[in-house]
Amino acid sequence: MDPLASTKERRQLLVSGTVQGVGFRPLVYRVANKHQITGSVCNQLGIVSIEVEGTVEQINRFIRDLEVQTKEPAKIESIEQSLLPLANDNCFRIKESKAEGISGYSFPPDLAVCSECISDLTHPSQRYYNYPFTSCSNCGPRYSIIQGIPYDRPVTTMKDFSLCEPCRKEYEDPSNRRFHAQTIACPTCGPIVELRNNKNVLVSGDWKRNVEKALLTGKILAVKGIGGFHLICDAASRKVVEKLRNRKRRARKPFALIVRDLQTVEENFELTQAEQELLASRRAPIVLLRPKPFLKEWLPLESLAPGYQRLGVMLPYTPMHALLFTDSLSFLVATSGNQSGLPIARTNEEALQQLDGIADYFLLHNREIGVRVEDSVCQVVDEQISFIRRSRGYVPESIPFPLPPFGVKEIPTVLAVGAEMKNTACILHGDRAILSQHLGEIEHEEQLTCWREGVQHIQELLRVEPEIIAYDPHPGYIVTQQALDQFQDYPLFPIYHHHAHMAACMAEHGLISPVIGCILDGTGYGRDGNLWGFEILTGDYLKFERACHLEPLALPGGEAAIRYPWMMAMSLLYQLEQDMFFTKHWALQLFPDVKEQLPFLLAQLDGRIPCPRVSSAGRLFDAVAALLGICVESTYDGEAAVLLGERAEMSSTGCLGKGNYSFAYSAGQWRVGQLIKDILGDLMLSVPIEEIAKKFHHTVVEMVIFGVLEAYKKTEIRSVVLSGGVWNNRYLLSCAKKRLKEVGFTVYTHQKIPAGDGGIALGQAVSALWRWHHHVFVRSSEDH
Cα separation of 270 and 192, whole Å? 38
The rounded distance, in Å, linking the Cα atoms of 319 and 186 is: 12
DSSP state of 667: T
Residue 88 falls in the annotated catalytic set: no
- Under DSSP, the state recorded for 178 is T
Type of residue found at 466: P
Given the DSSP bridges, would you call strands 286-291 and 719-723 parallel, antiparallel or unpaired? unpaired
Q: Which amino acid is at 717?
A: I
Give phi and psi for 187, each to the nearest 5.
-60, -25
Distance CA(336)–CA(359), nearest Å, equals: 12
3-state secondary structure (DSSP) of residue 90:
coil
Q: How far is it, in rounded angstroms, from Cα 51 to Cα 582?
A: 80
Identify whether the C-beta of residue 393 lies closer than 8 Å to the C-beta of residue 140: no
Give the pairing of strands 331-336 and 229-234. Answer: antiparallel
d(CA 553, CA 624): 13
Contacts of 583 (CB under 8 A, 6+ apart): 570, 573, 574, 577, 602, 605
Q: Where are the alpha helices (DSSP H) in 179-251?
A: 207-216, 238-248
User: How does 475-492 read in b/e, with b if 16+ C-beta sit within 10 Å?
Assistant: eebebbebbbeebeeebe
- E-strand ranges in 216-370 read 221-224, 229-234, 257-259, 269-270, 286-291, 311-314, 331-336, 361-365
Q: Name the catalytic one among 10, 43, 432, 619.
A: 43
Say how far apart CA 593 and CA 632 lie, in whole Å.
Answer: 11
Give backbone dihedrals phi and psi of 161, rounded to 5 degrees, phi first: -110, 100
CA distance 327 to 710: 60
Catalytically annotated residue among 10, 25, 260, 283: 25
Classify 363 as helix, strand or coil.
strand
C-alpha atoms less than 13 angstroms from C-alpha of 733 in its C-beta half-sphere: 28
Counting Cβ atoms within 10 Å, is residue 206 exposed (0-12), middle (13-18) or buried (19+)? exposed
Q: How far apart are CA 604 and CA 204, in angstroms?
A: 62
Residue 55 near residue 7, CB atoms below 8 Å: yes
**DSSP-derived pairing of the beta strands 613-616 and 553-554:** antiparallel
SS3 441: coil
Q: CA torsion 16→22→26→27, rounded to 10°?
A: -70
Active-site residue flag, 25: yes
How much helix, strand and coil, in percent to the nearest 5, is found in the chain? 35, 20, 40
Residues 6+ apart with CB under 8 A from 312: 254, 255, 256, 257, 286, 287, 288, 289, 305, 377
Torsion sign (Cα): 51, 54, 60, 63: negative
Please, is 91 exposed, middle or buried when counting C-beta atoms within 10 Å of its C-beta (0-12, 13-18, 19+)? exposed
Alpha carbon distance 582, 58 (integer Å): 84
The DSSP secondary-structure symbol of 422 reads S
688 to each of 190, 683, 693, 700, 701, how far by Cα in Å?
59, 8, 9, 19, 20
Please give the positions annotated as active site: 25, 43
